[in-house]
């Protein structure tokens, strides 16, 4: 694909740290992304309403982002990545800094979003990769250590921790 506008329209990005304007509402953020992604004006309301519904932010749409919890901010960042029916979504540490309940909600949202899309996600949590990924790539110091399904990686490298006890000599 050589058309940079088409690439921009089909790409969604959710960065590790929320890139939000404190004095804009949830709805205004989504409308702004619609403008940046050239969503036709007559489709903006429908696109924003659908995204609010999917991200479970409809009741918070008029709140300024500075009034949102960390979990709601992450949902908004994910919603911004979805605008324009993005086909490729890049998620950088999508659940970083969240409590267990908020993390689970983000995981459920990502699972819901997967059909019909390609999602590339970075995470430091193996349980998150196991839960959400079809394939896992493990890297250390810039080197590829493994690229396979979670089950095959577990078979090859084992699961969990191994405790070795040796007698004192």
Dump pLDDT digits (tens) for 8-47: 778 888 888 888 999 999 999 999 999 988 899 999 999 9
Could you give the CA distance from residue 134 to residue 10 in angstroms, rounded to a whole number? 21
| Closest to 62 (Cα-Cα) out of 25, 115, 29, 10 | 25
> Would you tell me how many other CB atoms lie within 10 Å of the CB of residue 28?
16
Percentage of the chain lying above the pLDDT 70 cut: 96
Distance of CA 115 to the CA centre of its chain: 14
Could you give the CA distance from residue 48 to residue 80 in angstroms, rounded to a whole number? 9
Q: pTM surpassing 0.95?
A: no
Which domains occur in the chain, in start order? 4-122 (3.40.50.300), 125-155 (no CATH)
């Amino acid at each position: 694909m050589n058309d940079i506008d088409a690439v921009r329209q089909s790409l969604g990005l959710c960065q590790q740290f929320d890139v939000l304007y404190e004095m804009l509402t949830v709805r205004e953020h989504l409308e702004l992304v619609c403008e940046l992604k050239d969503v036709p004006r007559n489709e903006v309301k429908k696109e924003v309403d659908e995204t609010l519904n999917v991200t479970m932010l409809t009741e918070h749409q008029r709140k300024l982002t500075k009034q949102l919890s960390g979990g709601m901010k992450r949902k908004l960042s994910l919603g911004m990545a979805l605008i324009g029916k993005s086909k490729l979504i890049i998620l950088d540490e999508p659940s970083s800094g969240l409590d267990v309940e908020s993390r689970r909600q983000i995981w459920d949202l990502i699972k819901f979003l997967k059909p019909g899309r390609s999602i590339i996600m970075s995470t430091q949590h193996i349980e998150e990769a196991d839960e959400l990924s079809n394939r896992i790539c493990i890297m250390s110091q810039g080197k590829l250590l493994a690229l396979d399904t979670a089950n095959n990686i577990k078979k090859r490298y084992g699961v969990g921790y191994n405790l070795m006890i040796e007698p004192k000599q």
